[in-house]
Amino acid sequence: MVWPPVRVTVYAYGSGASVSRGPSNRILALVVRVCAPALAALALVIVVANEASEADHDLRLIVPRAASAGELLPVRGLLYSGLRAVEGPQLAPRDVEVQLIASGGRVLSHTRLTHARSGTNDIEGTLPVPAAALGDAFVHAQVRVGREDLSVDAPLQLVASAEGEPAEPRALRELQQLSESGVQRMPLAPPPPDALHVRVAGGVCVPEQPCRVFVHVGEPAAAVLIETTPSVTPDAQAEEPSAETSGALAFDVVTHGPEAQLWLRASRSGRTVARRAIRLPIALGGATLSPRAVLLDAPATPEIALAGEAEGFIVDVLRLHAASHYQWVRTGSLAQSSEPQAVPFAALSAGIYRVQARRDPFSASNAAARVVYVRTPGEPPAQVLRTLAEAARTIDPGDLFVTRVRNASGAVDESSFPAALGYLAAIVENGVVVQPAAATGFAAARARLTEAQTRMRWLALIALALGGVALALSVGKRGLEAGDRISELLVSAGQDAATARRAHLRSRLATIASALALLLVFVVVALYVIARGNALH
């Protein structure tokens, strides 16, 4: 193939000469001059935009530290959005897929967490644990929010029988804790009862809400009433002397203010034999949990109501194990209602359970708590009391009523059974079981974002390097070629050879300086990209 001839004309400044090149070279030079700066600018814009993005969501999971094989695993989740917002992050209710995965990677079960009906904007659900599943495992959750892929892994142990966590004392001020003064014996009166101990249903009273107190009278038997004080108002029945007994009695009162002092008066045959002052435990800003029944037959679905809350609430159920440890076994939520509602989860088998209700989705430290006893069909009342007394003994081994119930061998008086049951349950209800720490996927999300930004930064640096070198070589090559042509024309036009060489050298140096200046611009931009990445990470 014979290519057509190409005409080259070189113009020198001041001489009328010209240099012409082929159309393909001119197009290539134009492409390099336009695309290289554009590529550099685009790389810079992409890097700046990509590194300006930050993780704005955080997915957290709350699961027990251990779970029993063959049981249900309660799971609660918190999806934070707007982590960088001026007003602070908020919870975003959204369905989330979760899986229970063994340490080897095998999926044991899966479910979908749904938003709580309580209006607290958290998410909840349960995972079935296979009966044969034992060993290390974790709960994996993932969700996509906008352009962010969020995931979190919460580790747990699968065991034959999980023991759970102990109840912790409530954070109450000194004058808001339960304390009993000495018994004031009346002059010339018969001996007073040897107990007059008080227990409070739920462990605390909430100001201006009904509060049930239980009194163990002790020997010898006596009648008891509650005196009205500025801080405690008993109901009409509590203001009248009870029947004489040495067992347990139940009274309803309402407390007022941040502190409350209750006065008991014991009498025998109408004659006062003793008085005792009791400082009641007070929880400010709390709520009162009221189960419809404390004693249920298995399988049971408790019905509860929460006073003192204008909105819905979260319900957690924990099963009592030995040594006063509680295993978290159920979780759910309910909309607010003045009437008791059935708890929104699977029925409970026989055992002693703590029901905790709270409005705060982040903490259970101020939760209202009550105990329900789920008995096996046909279990007699005496056995119910003895089982509950064994549980109470681990909490207060010196309580006289606990000892009395444990040593009793006969049947239980039907009329005294509710008060005895409530007294023992109140011992178990003391304190609160806090929820496990939440596992977060924020660190992993930040790591993924940082890795993506690092890759983008390296791609930008490569683009800058290629663009800068290509532009510098293009400009330098064109300048050197033009300088050579002009030098040849000057010599052929009769210019002195030494002067032409000096002019040629100056032209080369100017061309090299121009190319290096262009390259320096790209180097500065690359250094800016590196410095910005180091400052952000």
Q: Give the pLDDT band of residue 6 (cuts 50, 70, 90).
A: very low
Structure tokens at 50: 């990509």
Residue 406 in this model has a pLDDT that exceeds 50: yes
Residue 485 in this model has a pLDDT that exceeds 90: no
For the entire predicted model, the pTM comes to 0.77
Q: Taking residues 344-372, report their average pLDDT.
A: 93
Which of 162, 181, 214 is the endpoint of a domain? 162
CATH number of the domain bearing residue 90: 2.60.40.10
Please say whether the beta carbons of 199 and 281 come within 8 A.
no
Query: Beta partners for 225?
Result: 265
* Residues 308 and 420 both lie in one domain: yes
* Residues 91 and 203 both lie in one domain: no
pLDDT one-digit tens code per residue, 128-145: 999 988 999 999 999 888
Residue 95 in this model has a pLDDT that exceeds 50: yes
Which of 409, 435, 461 is the endpoint of a domain? 435
Question: Is 18 a domain residue?
Answer: no
* Residues 429 and 492 both lie in one domain: no
* Residues 431 and 510 both lie in one domain: no
Please give the pLDDT value at position 327.
94
Residue 18 in this model has a pLDDT that exceeds 90: no
Radius of gyration of the chain (CA): 41
Residue 251 in this model has a pLDDT that exceeds 70: yes
CA–CA dist 416, 428 (Å, integer): 19
* Residues 304 and 354 both lie in one domain: yes
Number of domains observed in the structure of the chain = 3
CA–CA dist 315, 305 (Å, integer): 10
Type and span of the H or E element at 445: helix 442-492
CA–CA dist 463, 483 (Å, integer): 30
Question: Is 510 a domain residue?
Answer: yes
Question: Is 48 a domain residue?
Answer: yes
Q: Give the pLDDT band of residue 374 (cuts 50, 70, 90).
A: very high
Please give the pLDDT value at position 464.
72
The 3-state secondary structure of 213-262 reads EEEECCCCCEEEEEECECCEEECCCCCCCCCCECCEEEEEEEECCCCCEE
CA–CA dist 330, 345 (Å, integer): 7
**Mean pLDDT estimate for the chain:** 85
Higher pLDDT pick, 3 / 423 = 423
Range of the domain at 213: 164-173+195-226+242-253+282-435
Residue 324 in this model has a pLDDT that exceeds 70: yes
* Residues 321 and 464 both lie in one domain: no
* Residues 409 and 452 both lie in one domain: no
Please give the pLDDT value at position 49.
60
Please say whether the beta carbons of 228 and 251 come within 8 A.
no
Question: Is 262 a domain residue?
Answer: no
Question: Is 181 a domain residue?
Answer: no
* Residues 150 and 169 both lie in one domain: no
Q: Give the pLDDT band of residue 461 (cuts 50, 70, 90).
A: confident
CATH number of the domain bearing residue 403: 2.60.40.1930
Report, in this order, helix, strand and coil percent for the chain, each rounded to 5. 30, 35, 35
Higher pLDDT pick, 437 / 11 = 437
Q: Taking residues 20-25, report their average pLDDT.
A: 56
* Residues 128 and 209 both lie in one domain: no
Q: Taking residues 59-86, report their average pLDDT.
A: 91
Q: Give the pLDDT band of residue 50 (cuts 50, 70, 90).
A: low
* Residues 311 and 203 both lie in one domain: yes
Residue 9 in this model has a pLDDT that exceeds 90: no
Residue 43 in this model has a pLDDT that exceeds 70: no
Please give the pLDDT value at position 412.
76
Residue 455 in this model has a pLDDT that exceeds 80: no
* Residues 307 and 419 both lie in one domain: yes
Higher pLDDT pick, 93 / 184 = 184
Higher pLDDT pick, 97 / 415 = 97
Q: Taking residues 60-65, report their average pLDDT.
A: 94
Please say whether the beta carbons of 131 and 119 come within 8 A.
no
Please give the pLDDT value at position 11.
42
Which of 435, 470, 493 is the endpoint of a domain? 435
Question: Is 86 a domain residue?
Answer: yes
* Residues 418 and 298 both lie in one domain: yes
Higher pLDDT pick, 463 / 357 = 357
Question: Is 123 a domain residue?
Answer: yes
Please say whether the beta carbons of 218 and 196 come within 8 A.
yes
Question: Is 212 a domain residue?
Answer: yes
- Centroid of chain to Cα 367: 16
